[in-house]
Amino acid sequence: MGYATTSKPLKIAQGGKICPKGFYCPKGSYSEIACPVGTFSDKLGIGNLNECQGCPKGSFNGYVGATACRQCKGSTISQPASVTCKCIGLNRKYLADIGACVCKTGYNPTDGTEADKDGFADCERTIFDSCTPEQTRDANGKCRDPEDCSDECDGGQGAISENFGMCQCAQFTTVDQICNKDCRSKLPLTTFTSDGEIRIKDPVTNTTVITSLENTAGTAKCALADNTQCAIVPIKMS
């Protein structure tokens, strides 16, 4: 790229560098150009947009500069060069993070299964009962007493928010009650470095375990000089 001395410079001494995966670099480029959504490139040094490959049928990619496409999961289909997966059932939306087609908000499956679970069946709009003036509607569409929050508040008192339909408890457990500052200072710190390594430091034993990041789409690297600022937060998926 830039003032190159060869048609395909591979290093800075030749006036440029090789084009990275996920990008293409036409002749005379000063910077790489990302392959668009729906495509990918797992090769170094490509020079034209048409060298970015479309995602195969049954896969998708919603990000630019991808080096691979993600497989469609759950009750879905996709055409070549797709940016997302299409749910087979009507009125469903695809949640890529969990690989599932769930009913849109306000809809329920026609086969009686759960609305927030993957499925092939069409979803139909939910018709709610009319609430009395003394009642309010919760997040699930049910008519309830505005102060009926004993289950959500572990037997305590609370009120259902008119805006969100969820209980706001009068008393709640704080973070410090679960794990105070001293407790949190002893928890392992997980970070990843600029070369993609995972480092898990135990502050109690002052030991560090180094591993690698697996089962991810694309490349995860820390772009900050201070690696401790690139923390990883684990999320439990059910």
Give, for 60, the enclosing helix (H) or strand (E). Answer: strand 59-60
- Predicted pLDDT of residue 163: 85
Render 114-130 in DSSP notation, one character per residue: -TTS--SS-EEEPPPPP
CA distance 90 to 107: 10
CA distance 24 to 201: 38
Amino acid at position 40, single letter = F
Give, for 174, the enclosing helix (H) or strand (E). Answer: none
User: Across-strand partners of 23?
Assistant: 34
CA distance 80 to 85: 10
- Predicted pLDDT of residue 35: 96
End-to-end CA distance of the chain: 46
pLDDT tens digits in sequence order for the chain, 238 residues long? 445 555 566 666 666 788 899 999 988 778 899 999 999 999 998 999 999 999 999 999 999 999 999 999 999 999 999 999 999 999 999 998 899 999 998 899 999 999 999 999 999 998 888 999 999 988 888 899 999 998 888 888 899 988 888 998 888 778 888 899 899 889 888 877 666 677 888 888 888 877 765 655 555 556 566 655 566 665 554 4
Amino acid at position 58, single letter = G
- Closest among 84, 45, 49 to 63, alpha carbons compared: 84
- Predicted pLDDT of residue 238: 45
pTM above 0.95, yes or no: no
CA distance 199 to 188: 10
CA distance 84 to 102: 14
- Predicted pLDDT of residue 207: 84
Give, for 87, the enclosing helix (H) or strand (E). Answer: strand 86-87
CA distance 231 to 7: 41
- Predicted pLDDT of residue 199: 81
Read off the tokens for 125: 């709009």
CA distance 58 to 73: 9
- Tokens 């600022």 identify what position? 229
Number of H helices, E strands in the chain: 2, 19
